[in-house]
Chains A and B, each alone.
Chain A
Amino acid sequence: MPVRIAAAFVLLSTGLLSANDRSDYFEAHIRPLLVAHCVRCHGPDRQESGIRLDSRAHVLEGTDHHDALVDPSDPESSRLLQVIAWNEDDVQMPPDSPLPSGAAAAFRTWIQDGAVWPKASEFGRIQDARSDWRTHWAWQPVTRPDPPGPGHPVDAFIRKKLAEHGLDLSPRAPLRVLVRRLSVALTGLPPDRDDLRAAAQQSDSTADAWLDALTDRLLASPHFGERWGRHWLDVARYADTKGYVFRQDRNYPDAWRYRDWVIRAFNSDMPWDEFLTRQLAADRFPDDQTPEDLAAMGFLTLGRRFLNNPHDIIDDRIDVTMRGMMGLTVTCARCHDHKYDPVPSADYYSLYGIFDSSMEPGDAPSPLRMVDRPKPREPVIFVRGSAARRGDPVPRRFLTAFSEVAPEPFTDGSGRLELARAITSRRNPLTARVAVNRIWGHLFAHPLVRSPSDFGMRSDPPSHPELLDHLAAWFMDHDWSVKRLIRHIVTSETWRQSADRRPDAETVDPDNRLLARMSRTRLDFEAHRDAILAAAGCLDPALGGPSVDITTRPFSTRRTVYARIDRQNLPGLFRTFDFASPDAHAPQRYETTVPQQALFQLNSPFILDMSEAAARTARESGAGEAAAVRQLYEQILQRTPTEEEQHQALQFIRSDQPDPAAGWSYGCGTISPSLKRLESFRLLPVMIDGAWRGSPALPDPVYNWSLLTNNGGHPGNSRSLCVVRRWTAGRSSRLEIRMTLEHPSEQGDGITSIVLHNTETVLDRVSVRHAKQVRRISRTEVQPGDTIDFVTFCGKSASHDSFRSDIHIEETDGKRTRVWHSVKDFGSQNAPQATDAWTQLAQVLLLTNEFVFVD
């Protein structure tokens, strides 16, 4: 359920702030000022000069004692603005010191915009906020609303709302589209080719049963857990490292055990209440104490370490628990009573006491374990969040606003198990709603409640409140089974409808919140990378195990859920593709569209390797070009090309005219002591006066005398500064090589040249001194991307080591013969042509919107 940013429409003709924005403005800027600076003397307890600034009526309308304090028709005449201006000849409020900078401007803006004071906010003391919360939708007990019509309950609720706007669902999407939609949603993988074939053979009468059976098969697939487990890992701010720890080891070498536990839990359809309970208190399931079971507590123990500051570590644990499981933002209450939700500071420290009474005794078999301290710690309030200012003691207990769920202080050890029981109590109005809302969001791109980790007073109400309650109740009534809930939703016509545009609905519902059609979604980072691996025929379907680095070559072919996640220095690849930040609990992924994503897809070694792999399979199928194009379409887009597409693709292949200089590149490197292997290769950075070299300076501080020109060059002064003229193969072919090498100087100790295939196979070796030699190398078989390196280095001395060389490579693949000539091909582009037209075509298909979006 991504938050889409790139394609955001910006209203150009915005007028005044909307009513919502204006009450937001009051909440964000005005009320905090009033609460912080005014209501102590002008509020419920004291009314200096008969004035109350916690009262809408007092401020906007005035009383018997005074006129209205603000005047939107003439803002500057507002008494409120005058007194806070702190003019010398007037009353100065507040009396001790002026309001912070910006406050006056905020009041002025608010008054100019009509002094909107939302009715619900008619209070001055924070505690009073809680008198309102009892009516907030999210705290109400979950009800079981009757579906307002026949058929699938989900459809009935959705249709009812649509009908209010004169709309109805779209027709069902074609079966082939549904197969892909289902496969991606349930397993994060492209559909199986056999399933697509079977789909094509269904008739109207068999389609439903077949689709239901496919749904069951996908739910039973072990890849289901990989997909849905990853959704939860966003919530759990999963990472394989601790964050910044200065010089300590920053790895969590066993983090993957928690990740695998989550995947297994989804695959075994562990009931949600148990799933949550075990993550908080797996140590309290006496029959399940294997290391695998205890890994569940990685939920708590795998957060950022904050240089081992215990208060911050506990804060992170409270946050991930309360936002992740209950959609409550309680960490504001670390420093003061929550401004909007019924969470006083005392509640925060009640929870603090639970985690402070727990400790990590992680050992070899169970590194992620947490247990209770032998003696629980009694929490006190830290005044303004400062551990140095200890305030009143508080009991370890659940949130006081939910006293009907768990009224008594916790007595069982730290209270973690009791906390878990309270969170998963059927009387808890939030937990089931939060869970089904997340699941709905993953299936429909938009959750019913827009802020999936904040169901508090300031959250928007659900788009379909009755549907949310129906799902929450249904979920609990069906043993908190995630698989059954997903099945319940994806078998609705709402989920199965077409994603085609609905012009009739776009004016009333541009965001498609009413669901008159299915939302088109973009593959997220994991599904995208997995789909590329699958299209290339490289995907490794193995389950579980230690995390793997996916950013360096040779590229791992494991599913992306197994990627090592470095919390501290998250590689650009992850950030570029909107991966959930592992710094803290991530409610939703953003969805951005930026050119860095396109750069990765155009240029990264990963995409090029995968395109090559995909092309190789098609090319090696042995059939003709037309058949190979069809094969490539099948492999990547899982369909046959249209005639027009087939034509365009063939044209693309046939019009390929390789750039003559593209096979060559110019660098320097290190030859191994045995003189049999090129240990390193880097491109010479600049071309100046017809020579590739380190810089204008000769010798260059790094590259020394290394030079390569059209007809020769000069090596650097050591084995690690050989000059290397590299030729890279663009296709499978056989080579005949002729090389002329000359050391023209009459002085110096000469040079040596070695010819290497793929840096490791010596094809030839020759030393020349004051002489010229002609060498021939016959019948070298190469694959696309193979390299032939012509490595030249000095003897003991690098003096007088200028050399001349002239290399012919005759490249034959049975059909075509092409001659490469080092002197003629020499150019200023250091850009070897390693991709051939087939690879390029495969890459184009991988880059299409069709590949990346799911209808």
Chain B
Amino acid sequence: MNRSGRHPVSVPNLAKNAPSPQESSPVPLGSRRDLLSRCGMGFGSLALATLLHPNRAVAGPLSPRPAPLPSNVRSVIHLFMNGGPSHVDTFDPKPMLRRYAGKPVPGGNLKTERPTGAAFPSPFRFRRYGESGLPVSELFPHVARSIDDICVIRSMHADVPNHEPSLLLMNCGEARQVRPSLGSWLTWGLGTENQNLPAFIAMCPDGYPIQESQNWQSGFLPGIYQGTYINSRHTDIARLIENIRNDRTSPGDQRRQLALLRAMNARHLENRGGDDALEARIQSFELAFRMQTEAADAFDIRQEPKHIHDMYGTGVHARQTLIARRLVERGVRFIQLWHGQGQPWDSHDDLEVQHRRLAQQCDQPIGALLRDLKQRGLLDSTLVIWGGEFGRTPAVELPKKGSNQGKINGRDHNHWGFTMWMAGGGVRGGYAHGATDDFGFRAVEDKVHVHDLHATILKLVGFDHETFTYRYAGRDFRLTDVHGRVIEELIA
């Protein structure tokens, strides 16, 4: 499926009955005839082109393409709680921890990155929400309001208790080697609905998470499928998107430049009797000119009414989450929102204070996002994914030289069992899948490996993870490598 008729490596040839890009593109690229007449070319060359290439149309590498399997999902928002939020303090209550507070966990502790000690009950209270009655801790009251739209996966597990490999596994399906990220796979597979905005946007305030831009790398896929990083701390559009603004040439002058350029390129094209590559480049300037206004508009949340601002709250998380909704409305394919630079959720100590602070920053915006998408009728077509690269131990972390500073009030990394949730996009709302053991150490029931999550996400978006492949270095690569199974229970 990775071969188009014309080029050895190309966009996926997915559907037998792929509609014309012109039909499926919500942003009119301009028909061939428009383009030619704008270029000041006569009908003669148009007729020539049509004769030579009947039933064909120019399509770009990011032109929208239908998924091979039925799916309503048009966009994905991945809310990445980097550092690893604690599941027993958020979505996976463990009353047994209270009973064993301060005592050893029966059955012993599993090996994680650092030594851990006695059972550490959650300092946060849980309440049941919604018709489903699923429990959510006091850290996420706004998210909890949408619990009936949320599918909580309590039996996630990964491979190792370290940030770097776990981040790569969660994003790219492989812990060490260079592989494309989920967002790159999807933009390669589906293109994007809006040619005036990047297809895949990774927002993180103040800098990179650890492992940096490898988290949104395109690996062996073409570089245009890599995530565009945006430091959401900035408010000036010129600092958000490279080269989006020209601070030395006025828009009026730029229009004059483009008119002259168009005339010169049209003459050049005509002298050569037409050429797809030449035409594609001519079009790209028209697109770029439009992108300048459209991108500025997409990131300008000041256009939102007061009640929306009130709903999302204030601060950088409110801003980036609200921008994400505006991007979804405009047809951006994949948006990843990182909680912050480095590994903010990594509460090795002062867990109560740190988790409360972190949740306060993002709970209201995320809750608002879910309700806002729903009220706009966008939740069905938007898959929202929440979680970290792993969870945290139910046992308290013990002090160790160089870490923990002698405080014994935090939790270590835990890849044996943790929680993620998904909402919208055809997932089964108000449902909790799988379980960890009585203490929350290890996933035991209906376990879901990260590969399984990927397989399920691909299914939701319309791909069979086993046949969605890219030929590279003599092999057909998959996001799930040789692993993964679709967890049908997660799908509505």
Q: Which residues of A contact B (CB under 8 A)?
A: 3-17, 21, 24, 28-29, 100-103, 105-106, 243-244, 246, 304, 306-307, 309, 312, 315, 319, 323, 329, 331-332, 338-341, 450-451, 453-454, 456, 458, 460, 499-501, 503, 506-507, 510-511, 520, 522, 568-570, 572-576, 578-579, 581, 583-585, 588, 590-604, 608, 645, 648-649, 652, 655-656, 658-659, 662, 665, 683, 685-686, 695, 728, 785, 829-835, 837, 840-841, 843-845, 847-850, 852-853, 855
Closest 7 A/B residue pairs (Cβ): A329-B474, A598-B288, A7-B276, A575-B223, A834-B248, A595-B287, A102-B466
Contact present for B224 and A594 (CB under 8 Å): yes
Contact present for A578 and B249 (CB under 8 Å): no
Answer yes or no: B303 CB below 8 A from chain A CBs.
no
Contact present for A575 and B224 (CB under 8 Å): yes
Give min CB distance, B199 to chain A, whole Å. 10
Answer yes or no: B304 CB below 8 A from chain A CBs.
no
The docked-state distance in angstroms from the alpha carbon of A568 to that of B164 is 14
- Among B212, B250, B254, point to the contact of A244 (Cβ < 8 A): B212
Contact present for A835 and B52 (CB under 8 Å): no
Stretch at the interface among B55-63, B102-110, B147-155: B55-63
- Among A106, A323, A520, A686, point to the contact of B275 (Cβ < 8 A): A520
Q: Which A residues lie within 8 Å of B211 (CB)? A: 244
- Among A304, A506, A602, A685, point to the contact of B243 (Cβ < 8 A): A602
Q: Contacts A3-B7, A453-B473, A572-B242 known; A599 to B260 CB distance under 8 Å?
A: no
The docked-state distance in angstroms from the alpha carbon of A5 to that of B276 is 11
Contact present for B280 and A6 (CB under 8 Å): yes
Q: C-beta contact mask, B270-283 vs A, less than 8 Å → 1, else 0?
A: 00111111111111
Contact present for B219 and A848 (CB under 8 Å): no
Give min CB distance, B128 to chain A, whole Å. 33
The docked-state distance in angstroms from the alpha carbon of A596 to that of B276 is 19
Q: Which B residues lie within 8 Å of A319 (CB)? A: 473
Contact present for A603 and B261 (CB under 8 Å): no
Contact present for A835 and B276 (CB under 8 Å): no
Contact present for A852 and B281 (CB under 8 Å): yes
Contact present for A102 and B465 (CB under 8 Å): yes
Q: Across the A-B interface, how many residue pairs have beta carbons closer than 8 Å? A: 325
- Among B226, B253, B272, B302, point to the contact of A659 (Cβ < 8 A): B253
Q: Which A residues lie within 8 Å of B16 (CB)? A: 14-17
Answer yes or no: B469 CB below 8 A from chain A CBs.
yes
Answer yes or no: B307 CB below 8 A from chain A CBs.
no
The docked-state distance in angstroms from the alpha carbon of A103 to that of B465 is 11
The docked-state distance in angstroms from the alpha carbon of A645 to that of B218 is 42
The docked-state distance in angstroms from the alpha carbon of A596 to that of B178 is 24
**Nearest neighbor of A571 in chain B, beta-carbon distance:** B242
Q: Which B residues lie within 8 Å of A581 (CB)? A: 218-220, 223
Answer yes or no: B476 CB below 8 A from chain A CBs.
yes
Q: Which A residues lie within 8 Å of B455 (CB)? A: 101
Contact present for B257 and A843 (CB under 8 Å): yes
Q: Contacts A24-B3, A329-B473 known; A849 to B281 CB distance under 8 Å?
A: yes
Answer yes or no: B245 CB below 8 A from chain A CBs.
yes
Q: Contacts A7-B280, A244-B211 known; A833 to B220 CB distance under 8 Å?
A: no
Contact residues, B422-469 vs A (CB, 8 A): 455, 464-467, 469
Q: Contacts A14-B16, A843-B257, A848-B261 known; A4 to B52 CB distance under 8 Å?
A: no
- Among B11, B196, B284, point to the contact of A597 (Cβ < 8 A): B284
**Nearest neighbor of B238 in chain A, beta-carbon distance:** A683
Contact present for B59 and A8 (CB under 8 Å): yes
- Among B6, B243, B272, B282, point to the contact of A599 (Cβ < 8 A): B243
Q: Which residues of B contact A (CB under 8 A)?
A: 3-11, 13, 16-21, 48, 52-53, 55-62, 164, 176-178, 195-196, 198, 208, 210-214, 217-220, 222-224, 226, 228, 235-236, 242-254, 256-257, 260-261, 263-265, 268-269, 272-285, 287-289, 291-292, 302, 455, 464-467, 469, 473-476, 485-486
Contact present for B252 and A6 (CB under 8 Å): no
Additional pairs, 8, CB under 8 Å, beyond known A575-B223, A591-B277, A830-B247? A6-B284, A8-B7, A8-B61, A520-B272, A590-B9, A599-B242, A603-B292, A833-B250
Give min CB distance, B274 to chain A, whole Å. 7
Contact present for B56 and A599 (CB under 8 Å): no
Q: Which A residues lie within 8 Å of B464 (CB)? A: 102, 105-106
Contact present for B223 and A579 (CB under 8 Å): yes
Q: Which A residues lie within 8 Å of B245 (CB)? A: 603
Q: Which A residues lie within 8 Å of B277 (CB)? A: 4, 6-7, 520, 522, 591, 593, 853
Contact present for A603 and B195 (CB under 8 Å): no
Q: Which A residues lie within 8 Å of B288 (CB)? A: 595-599, 602
List 23 A–B pairs whose Cβ atoms lie within 8 Å, in order of A's numbering: A6-B61, A9-B58, A10-B11, A10-B20, A13-B55, A14-B17, A101-B455, A101-B485, A103-B466, A243-B214, A338-B474, A339-B475, A500-B272, A574-B223, A583-B217, A592-B61, A595-B196, A600-B243, A659-B250, A695-B235, A728-B248, A849-B265, A849-B282
Contact present for A501 and B272 (CB under 8 Å): yes
The docked-state distance in angstroms from the alpha carbon of A10 to that of B11 is 9
Q: Contacts A645-B264, A652-B260, A848-B268 known; A831 to B251 CB distance under 8 Å?
A: yes
Q: Which B residues lie within 8 Å of A593 (CB)? A: 60-61, 277, 280-281, 283-284
Contact present for A833 and B249 (CB under 8 Å): yes
Contact present for A665 and B268 (CB under 8 Å): no
Give min CB distance, B245 to chain A, whole Å. 6
Q: Which A residues lie within 8 Å of B469 (CB)? A: 28
Contact present for A578 and B222 (CB under 8 Å): yes
Q: Which B residues lie within 8 Å of A603 (CB)? A: 243-246, 249, 292
- In this complex, the member of A101, A450, A499 whose beta carbon has the largest number of chain B beta carbons within 10 angstroms is A101
- Among B6, B235, B284, point to the contact of A595 (Cβ < 8 A): B284
- Among A572, A584, A833, point to the contact of B228 (Cβ < 8 A): A572
The docked-state distance in angstroms from the alpha carbon of A583 to that of B486 is 30
Q: Contacts A102-B466, A662-B250 known; A10 to B4 CB distance under 8 Å?
A: yes
The docked-state distance in angstroms from the alpha carbon of A282 to that of B467 is 44
The docked-state distance in angstroms from the alpha carbon of A659 to that of B11 is 44
Q: Contacts A307-B176, A568-B212 known; A5 to B222 CB distance under 8 Å?
A: yes
Contact present for A340 and B269 (CB under 8 Å): no
Contact present for B474 and A340 (CB under 8 Å): yes
Q: Which A residues lie within 8 Å of B246 (CB)? A: 602-603, 608, 831
**Nearest neighbor of A7 in chain B, beta-carbon distance:** B276
Q: Which B residues lie within 8 Å of A849 (CB)? A: 265, 268-269, 278, 281-282
**Nearest neighbor of B60 in chain A, beta-carbon distance:** A6
Contact present for B223 and A847 (CB under 8 Å): no
Q: Contacts A100-B485, A246-B164, A602-B243 known; A501 to B274 CB distance under 8 Å?
A: yes
Q: Which A residues lie within 8 Å of B250 (CB)? A: 658-659, 662, 829, 831, 833
Q: Which B residues lie within 8 Å of A685 (CB)? A: 235-236
The docked-state distance in angstroms from the alpha carbon of A190 to that of B220 is 31
Contact present for A10 and B56 (CB under 8 Å): yes
Contact present for A12 and B284 (CB under 8 Å): no
Contact present for A599 and B261 (CB under 8 Å): no
Q: Contacts A8-B59, A312-B176 known; A569 to B213 CB distance under 8 Å?
A: yes
The docked-state distance in angstroms from the alpha carbon of A353 to that of B465 is 35
The docked-state distance in angstroms from the alpha carbon of A855 to that of B269 is 12
Contact present for A306 and B212 (CB under 8 Å): no
Q: Contacts A24-B3, A506-B52 known; A592 to B224 CB distance under 8 Å?
A: yes
**Nearest neighbor of A573 in chain B, beta-carbon distance:** B242
Q: Which A residues lie within 8 Å of B248 (CB)? A: 608, 728, 785, 831-835
The docked-state distance in angstroms from the alpha carbon of A500 to that of B278 is 13
Q: Which A residues lie within 8 Å of B274 (CB)? A: 501
**Nearest neighbor of B226 in chain A, beta-carbon distance:** A575
Q: Which B residues lie within 8 Å of A499 (CB)? A: 272
Q: Which B residues lie within 8 Å of A573 (CB)? A: 242
Q: Which A residues lie within 8 Å of B244 (CB)? A: 599, 603
Q: Which A residues lie within 8 Å of B219 (CB)? A: 581, 583
Q: Which A residues lie within 8 Å of B210 (CB)? A: 246
Q: Contacts A8-B59, A581-B223 known; A833 to B4 CB distance under 8 Å?
A: no
Q: Contacts A100-B466, A458-B474, A853-B278 known; A576 to B223 CB distance under 8 Å?
A: yes
